[in-house]
Structure 1
Amino acid sequence: MDLAGLRASQDASLIPSYWYNIVPDLPEELPPMLRPDGEPVKPSDLEPVFARSLIEQEFSRSRFIEIPGELRALYARLGRPTPLLRAKRLEELLGTPARIYYKFEGVLPTGSHKINTAAAQAYYNRLEGVRRLTTETGAGQWGSALALAGALFDLKVRVYMVRVSYMQKPYRKIVMQVYGAEVVPSPSEYTEYGRRLLAEDPNHPGSLGIAISEAIMDAVGREDTRYSLGSVLNHVLLHQTIIGLEAKKQMEELGVYPDVVIGAVGGGSNYAGISYPFMADRLAGRSDTRFVAVEPTAAPSMTRGLLAYDFGDSAEMTPLVYMYTLGHRFVPPPIHAGGLRYHGVAPTLAVLVKHGLVEPRAYRQSEVFDAAVYFARAEGIIPAPESAHAVKAAIDEAVDAREKGEERIILFNLSGHGLLDLQGYSDYLEGRLTDAVVEGPRLEDIPGLDGGS
């Protein structure tokens, strides 16, 4: 195959020297996190949970935040910049005039984009003398990334893995253990909250909200331990913008610019990673690019949730954050896209959806796997179930371009490979997949409704 024009370069000079922080460019002031008494959270309130450097980034209004040289060198060793590929055969099979490009984060060691922030968070925690990190994980991509980051920076890591994913994805657990992390199914016997939930239901499937609660409970009160978060908050999302910043340079090399940018959304980290650097141009009036954010019908926070202040976790350990939410006690159906089974989205993304700058879509599990298998047979890469949501939207955009006879540049984030998610593909191929459609939140689970929708 002639690769000319099908992929952009992967020269290390393309790795940016800064992350992009969208907060100062948002169309409205970002609503602050709130304490239970309704007062805005102060940086000092978060010190028992996060490293101080990360708290500074969380509250920063600087548009660009420098990537430390040591961390940038580590990114290069881990495989950045990741490839920008053109899905030429997919285009041909679809008979579309659209050109489809995708940023493939699955080449990174743990198979997804998550190492971009895991490495950064481990780096800053280690500088401040932290010796141990706790976290949650759904599908296991985030837990795997933090486990590797812990090994690289000599930090102990305990991962609370959503119980249904712990059972569905045993190889993710093994990856984390190979890197030296302790992996615990959540709800667990390690916390009072977990024990209470198990007493009520010994087969509780768990949720990301529950796993977050347990990880925070584990970290608070231990001087040597901090909590590490895989999505939602500003400092996590800005670390991921390395994806879109690289993609902008790579697309410039190819002489193209996207008409539409697509990504899947659980909490918002991979979506922000690919889209926010391009959104900066839209907010500045330099482009009219469209932005499509895709979620499962089983956890439809943007398409069925309410815009409100809500807790980020089930046990109400976190501050109240402004987001589209299904309610913090929401327990999603056990779909295979475990990383998208979260009740809310990042506050910055919520603001963009509210202002019509991001178009949310929800897809059923079966149609997502239809698209994933079609893509795999065209391009050779088996997408993670989470990433397959973006694949489905990209195919829909290409078909729409064909029907309208329009040329269209489509960019999506293939945030991870699915080689450790083969149980989901087995269920699909053997006709065992089920679809789940959640109609909306339980209003009693949302403490801070503001009338948005």
Structure 2
Amino acid sequence: MTEAPRAWRSVLPHLGYDLPVDLTPEQGAGPVTATLPLELIRQSVSQREFWPVPEPVAERYRAFRPAPLWRARRFEAEIQAAVPIYVKYEGGNISGSHKFNTALAQAYYYHRAGFRELVTGTGAGQWGSALAAACAAFGLACTVFMVGGSLRDKPYRGSLIRLYGADLHTSPSQLTALGRDATGNHQQGNSLALAIGEAVEYARTDPKRAFCIGSGETYSILHQSVIGLEAIDQLAALGAEVDTVVGCVGAGSNFGGVALPFFAAARAGELPRPATLVAAESSTTPKLTRGVYAYDHTDSTGTGPMEAMYTIGSRYAIPPSHAAGLRFHGAAKLISAMRHRDQISALAIGQREALSAGRVFATSELVLPAPESGHALAAAARVAAGQEPDLASRHGVLVCVSGHGLLDLAAYDKLLAGLPEDQPADPEALREATATLRPVHPIEGA
């Protein structure tokens, strides 16, 4: 492929069902829908399949897309793979991750809708830096609340965010009531839901501000379809075939971006066979493997719409880990619905295994992956080496390396020093955090 896709591809027309509608909690409707540009709403609900990429966004895409794809032969040899492994690499832009694909699109739509500032929460910092750069590109102010534990581990993520003119706040902060209430709570310093909640609260204070999110929404997954669309064409150009597609999951945009175009293409009869779609999540935040399918909040305010999702509970105290971008309590509404209908599979990966896979990839392929991407590489290694009998691959595995790890060296330092043992989710704490959530019943579209 010599150019970036000219249109995004929606998977909604190929699902065979409608996604469950959101619920409004008694506390209030929240700010998200009220400030969402109409085009993003359309992209979330319409059965339209192809959406042209606006030229101002396409122009920015051309600076770093199409993103590289290659066969990782040396990595295959190191992990004793029985089938080929192909890598789609999303680290070659200023944010260092796939997040820039939707950040540019969203900044364009919000700017066109008349907003002057975008506000967001970020975990590992990829989304925060992507949005800061996108806002600079389209003349918008930007405010970012970053999870405190992540910012301490990755100070240069903060430097990058500030470089692009954004205001950066450590979460919990003193800027919001939610942050002040949480100050001093060690676990809340590791909470992406809190950082998002602070952004939601802060965005409400000015009608020209809009809260903006980069992962779990259906429109952001649509924008990420450029990953899978390119990969399909690039594999065809190589004469290669894969029957397994792997991506890491925080809320789901990276996984959805690489995997769902394969689902749509198979349903449309454009591929010889459907691929097994494997979501690799963190064992500290195992929503798809150990969570419940229920209505839950996407942030800590308790006022926004409640979405049908696989969740471990928005109030669950997530233990520290170096996979900050995966440490979100729930999976995207779209990804959750597909998981519930067995259209995707999931594996939970510990941080030691993830970082070890990342180190092997770095020494064999000479590309340092983000810790989040290490989860996808570890899952791909399991599948390609025949260690997951239920997910056997006969033709090949495609794995998305969602970003580089050059600003995540603290995590690799810990690995080299003998990373402490993983802290898997506590069963009793999971039960308590999800006990009062309303299950999604089949009659509601589940």
TM-score range, shorter chain: over 0.9
Alpha-carbon distance, 1:208 to partner: 1.2
Give the one of 290, 312, 315 matched to 1:304: 290
Asked whether the equivalents of residues 270 and 415 of structure 1 are also in contact (C-alpha less than 8 Å), the reply is yes
> How far apart are the structure 2 equivalents of 1:46 and 1:136?
13
Give the one of 227, 245, 270 matched to 1:243: 227
Please tell me whether residue 107 in structure 1 is matched to residue 92 in structure 2: yes
Alpha-carbon distance, 1:37 to partner: 5.4
SS at match of 2:62: helix
> How far apart are the structure 2 equivalents of 1:318 and 1:273?
25
Per the alignment, residue 25 of structure 2 pairs with 36
> How far apart are the structure 2 equivalents of 1:46 and 1:368?
34
SS at match of 2:213: coil
Asked whether the equivalents of residues 383 and 392 of structure 2 are also in contact (C-alpha less than 8 Å), the reply is no
Within a 5 Å distance, the mapping from 1:66-215 to structure 2 comes to 66-77=52-63, 79-198=64-183, 201=185, 204-215=188-199
Alpha-carbon distance, 1:47 to partner: 4.7
Query: Could you list the runs of 4 or more consecutive aligned residues of structure 1 that deviate by over 6 angstroms after TM superposition?
Result: 401-406
> How far apart are the structure 2 equivalents of 1:150 and 1:90?
37
Asked whether the equivalents of residues 31 and 304 of structure 2 are also in contact (C-alpha less than 8 Å), the reply is no
Q: TM-score, normalised by structure 2?
A: 0.92
After superposition, the C-alpha distances for 1:17-52 in whole angstroms (9 at most, x for unaligned) are 11111122214221011212599x8xx974533223
Asked whether the equivalents of residues 136 and 215 of structure 1 are also in contact (C-alpha less than 8 Å), the reply is yes
> How far apart are the structure 2 equivalents of 1:188 and 1:71?
33
Asked whether the equivalents of residues 27 and 303 of structure 2 are also in contact (C-alpha less than 8 Å), the reply is no
% of aligned pairs identical?
38
> How far apart are the structure 2 equivalents of 1:95 and 1:188?
47
Give the one of 418, 423, 436 matched to 1:431: 418
SS at match of 1:437: coil
SS at match of 1:400: coil
Alpha-carbon distance, 1:76 to partner: 0.2
Q: Which sits farther off after the overlay, 329-338 or 112-121?
A: 329-338
> How far apart are the structure 2 equivalents of 1:38 and 1:220?
15
Give the one of 248, 270, 286 matched to 1:264: 248
Per the alignment, residue 10 of structure 2 pairs with 21
> How far apart are the structure 1 equivalents of 2:324 and 2:336?
21
Alpha-carbon distance, 1:102 to partner: 0.8
> How far apart are the structure 1 equivalents of 2:387 and 2:285?
28
After superposition, the C-alpha distances for 1:104-161 in whole angstroms (9 at most, x for unaligned) are 0011121100000000011111112211110010000000000101111111111000
Within a 5 Å distance, the mapping from 1:208-357 to structure 2 comes to 208-284=192-268, 287-357=273-343
Per the alignment, residue 395 of structure 2 pairs with 408
> How far apart are the structure 2 equivalents of 1:365 and 1:279?
29
Per the alignment, residue 448 of structure 1 pairs with 438
Question: What is the CA RMSD across the aligned residues, in angstroms?
Answer: 2.4
Q: TM-score, normalised by structure 1?
A: 0.91
Asked whether the equivalents of residues 161 and 168 of structure 2 are also in contact (C-alpha less than 8 Å), the reply is yes
Alpha-carbon distance, 1:322 to partner: 0.5
Alpha-carbon distance, 1:405 to partner: 11
> How far apart are the structure 2 equivalents of 1:445 and 1:49?
32
Asked whether the equivalents of residues 382 and 417 of structure 1 are also in contact (C-alpha less than 8 Å), the reply is yes
Per the alignment, residue 4 of structure 1 pairs with none
Alpha-carbon distance, 1:55 to partner: 2.3
Q: 1:203 to 1:250 in 2, by over 3 A?
A: closer
SS at match of 1:171: helix
> How far apart are the structure 2 equivalents of 1:65 and 1:427?
43
Per the alignment, residue 5 of structure 1 pairs with none
SS at match of 1:324: strand
What runs of 5+ residues in structure 1 fail to find an aligned partner? 1-8
Asked whether the equivalents of residues 28 and 351 of structure 1 are also in contact (C-alpha less than 8 Å), the reply is no
Amino acid at match of 1:65: W
After superposition, the C-alpha distances for 1:384-404 in whole angstroms (9 at most, x for unaligned) are 000000100111122118999
Amino acid at match of 2:148: R
SS at match of 1:106: coil
